[in-house]
Amino acid sequence: VQLQASGGGLVQPGGSLRLSCAALGVAFSAKAVGWYRQAPGKQRELVAYMTSDGITNYADFVKGRFSISRDNAKNTAALQMNSLTPEDTAVYYCNVGRAGSHLSLPYYWGKGTLVTVSS
């Protein structure tokens, strides 16, 4: 299984970024997908997930600002991030679960993409 996250970069506070995740070698449509992040000196944390049925959930610190989506036809997932703050600075990782439920997360990890929010 290969997961490749992309779309990170430097953005000013209040700006937006859209992260993408491409999955290879996995029955993507049948799996839950999640986005995690790890800030310097902190533990990795769940940002958002979407089950195979399309149920979503967000961490409190991103509710109303971030949106997770998936395109099963393309085996991709995305994380739209708006109203970014410096506290959102982190390496963001895509993860695919063993099954369709969010309880199967995290399982398959890919390389992350760095998001830096700074003026």
The pairing of strands 113-117 and 9-11 is parallel
What average pLDDT does range 94-110 have in this prediction? Answer: 95
pLDDT at 115: 98
57 pLDDT band (50/70/90 cuts)? very high
What average pLDDT does range 25-51 have in this prediction? Answer: 97
Per the DSSP assignment, residues forming a β-bridge with 81 are 17, 66
29 pLDDT band (50/70/90 cuts)? very high
Q: Which two tokens stand for residue 97?
A: 């679960």
Average pLDDT, the chain: 97
